[in-house]
Amino acid sequence: MSEALLQQAMDAARKRQASDADVVWTHDVNLTIDVAGGKLETLEFSEAIGLGVRLFTDDRRMGFAYTTALDDGLDFIVEAAWQNALASDPDEHNVLPEGAEVSDDDWTQESFGEIPVERKVTFCRELERKVLDGDPRIAHVQQASYGDTRGEFAIANSRGLRRSFRNAYCSCSVVAAAAQEALASREGSDSEMGWEWDFGATFEALRQDWVAAGCVRRATRALGGRACETKAMPVVLENGVAAQFLGILLPGLTASQVLKGKSLFIDRVGETVASEAVSLVDQNDLPEGLNRAPFDAEGVSAQRTTLLDAGTLKSFLQNTYTAHRMGLASSGNACRGGGFRGVPEVGATNVFLEPGTRSQEELLAEAGNGLFVTHAMGVHMADPISGDFSLGIQGLRIENGRLGAPVRGVTIAGNLKDFLQDVAMVGSDLRFFGATGTPSLLVSEMMVSGQ
């Protein structure tokens, strides 16, 4: 079906005498299940199918339009894109990628639609029960969830490119509250929240016991937290918190933000911007990546892009437009946040800090006495341009290289430039959180404000 629709749209664009055009078609199917108190709270099925047309005039004006009315013919949506192009300004950098690759990849390992919904609901109930049974201090499970996604993406352009791929994955998560006495929590005394999640390419790959145990550990180890002293100290960031820091940095490593003058890294390619422990890579087709794909949203083949190599800034993430402006080649990082509803922007696919060889326990031992940060609040408020940040955090003391008492009600503050230079050691526990993957990090010194 997608091939015929793509060709129909391309024929309409050619008839309208567009100088260049590309067409994308996507089909996504999603299932979400939430269970609480043993009862099914959410059972949501959604399906989205649509097509987007981007075309260029002879003077490089760009127009875009999309539709979900795929049975009504496509001349009208091409005409809408054409009229939008006439209303825009010429831009010599509105170009399509070179090359005319033809490919069809199916990376789907399981047909989740064939697994009975009842089995998935039972999975959530079992996950909830395992958390409740994991420790008497677990007061209640806020939500145990399961979801699966099946997607297909196809693209064609006027240069002869024709590419498509299919993929699918599932996930589970759980959130629970713990208190020193579970009954006291229900009566309103202080409690702490814990969470954990997992994803996989097959249903059986989901680690139910591991997720339950992780949620229990996160909730219970935070009980009784108090503020620590105010001073500069070594800090170990758990991989999930390190991923949040990477999320602050990423916009500044996209060429679009550099071109807008909104990056910490303008004019710094080839310079040392981080410690030698820091190497950062983006790879579209990374097997472990949640966003794995054989090509980007413009059809440019997947590739491995080194952003930071042992602390040296090597490159930025590029799509065809930004690369043309900079006189470079696309890094295969075109993305369409709205699927068929959006034009190509620049974004990470599967970006990760290359792991080191030291375990988290070895990072703690190296820190000696300091703070292990397990949760950070207000990361979205950090300034990605100046690099300044001040975050509320929770965690555990590090005492003589071992985890000690829980800590809460404190902040860490600093600047991203200093943070990158102060990364003393990168752990071996690489884990992906959406598009970003990080191991735990040892930062030689951060300012902690507590008592």
Together in a domain, 56 and 100: yes
pLDDT digits (tens, 9 = 90+) for 253-297: 999 999 999 999 999 999 999 999 999 999 999 988 888 999 999
Q: Which domain-ending residue is among 164, 199, 221?
A: 221
* Co-location of 340 and 428 in the same domain: yes
Question: What is the chain's mean pLDDT, rounded?
Answer: 94
pLDDT digits (tens, 9 = 90+) for 323-369: 999 999 999 999 998 899 999 999 999 999 999 999 999 999 999 99
pLDDT for position 192? 93
Please return the burial class of 267, using the count of CB atoms within 10 Å of its CB with bins 0-12, 13-18 and 19+: exposed
Same domain? 370 vs 263: yes
What pLDDT does 288 receive? 85
Q: Which CATH number characterizes residue 115's domain?
A: 3.30.2290.10
* pLDDT the model gives residue 246: 94
Residue 79 sits in which domain range? 2-221
What's the pLDDT at 183?
45
* pLDDT attached to residue 226: 93
**Which of 159, 190, 221 corresponds to the end of one domain?**
221
Residues 151 and 49 in one domain: yes
pLDDT digits (tens, 9 = 90+) for 19-44: 999 999 999 999 999 999 999 999 99
Q: How far is the CA of 199 from the CAs of 7, 289, 390, in angstroms?
A: 35, 10, 31
Query: What's this model's pTM, rounded to 2 decimal places?
Result: 0.92
Residues of the chain with pLDDT under 70: 1, 181-189
Same structural domain, 232 and 214: no
Q: 412 and 357 in one domain?
A: yes
- The per-residue pLDDT for 337 is 87
Q: Which residues contact 11 (CB under 8 A, 6 or more apart)?
A: none
Residues 204 and 320 in one domain: no
Q: Looking at the structure, do residues 230 and 267 belong to the same domain, yes or no?
A: yes
